Amino acid sequence: MTGPGTPVPGSRRHALVAVSGGLDSAMALHLACRSYDRVRAVWVRTTTANVPPEVRAVTGHLGVPLEVLDSSRDFERQVVAWSGEMLSRGLTPNPCARCNALVKMPGPFGMLDDREDLLTGHYARMGNDGLHRGVDGEKDQSYFLSMVRRQVLDRCVFPLGGMSKTEVRRRAEKLGLPFRRMESMDLCFQTAAKGAPGDVVDLRGNRLGTHSGVERFTIGQRKGLGALGRRMYVVALDPVRRTVTVGGREDLMVRGCTLELMNWLEGPFSGSFSVLAQTRYRRRPVPAVVETFGAGDGGMLTIEFRGGEEAVAPGQVCALYLASRVIGGGTIVSTRKE
């Protein structure tokens, strides 16, 4: 596994670094320049936007040639249109995981020659035994990489995986690296999904109020429900009836869920086995038992949470771990109370 903060190239002495203009990719580019004989950078265009000035600034500062990969059509089709379709079905998409799997990672991967590693600024670690969590628990991004194909990950080095975000920022500022100071937290696009109004109801079907569209809600959400008299949470969405069902926090608890479109980074496994399951970014993974059916990638499986899990949203990614190692990920298609 790569050491803390320093990529360790194996037999490959050249690097292709994906840059965005942000802090993390700037530091990844700097570390690549220290460790590899030849480095080039790529900025992946996902919209009609021009190359950010910070991208040109950091590549110029480090003397690294920059290439632009236009993936805007793939992004529109695979991420933007897909997200709108998911929302219209009352599901909660995970566009960042989808983008990593189908656009941001496979695009640069396709540019690699036999001598190159692919470096990104993700807080994760890649070793001989696979993908692992980054050491910074608050910033770990292995969850977002769980849907990326193993053959892509095998060519990746994540030089920030052994560092904390605080350390990365401190070192970048000390080095005088140019980077975008504002950290992006919102979606980088807007969907075309336009919701129709409907009713907010309780678990018995009693009408409590109205809403402006089920597309605006996700399981576990509190904001946007209006004054309901007590603290309520979204527990179900029905895009056909246009209803948002609310309940107490205790009503968010589920016993299990079903995953589809499995992407196995190890195995694939079969039968029953124990894992740690993470159903949202920055949510603590919980002990669970997996039962597989449908062999290989693209198959399905069921998960039984040993102590239950709260606010599991169909459409989200569920990443499966053995300790810190990611063994696969899939899309949540349904949940069950019993």
Catalytic member of 33, 96, 156, 188: 188
DSSP 272-300: EEEEEEE-STTPPPEEEEEEEES-STT-E
The residue whose two tokens read 């603290």 is 231
Sign of the C-alpha dihedral, residues 163, 164, 165, 167? negative
DSSP 246-266: EE-GGGGEEEEEEEEEEEESS
Catalytic member of 33, 96, 99, 257: 99
What residues form DSSP beta bridges with 301?
259, 292
What residues form DSSP beta bridges with 38?
14
Kind of pairing between the strands at 38-45 and 124-127: unpaired
Cβ burial, residue 112 (10 Å; 0-12/13-18/19+): middle
Does the active-site annotation cover 99?
yes
Q: Is 315 left (phi over 0), alpha (psi -120 to 50) or beta?
A: left
Could you give the CA distance from residue 64 to residue 145 in angstroms, rounded to a whole number? 26
Does the active-site annotation cover 33?
no
The residue whose two tokens read 């196995």 is 264
Catalytic residue list? 99, 188
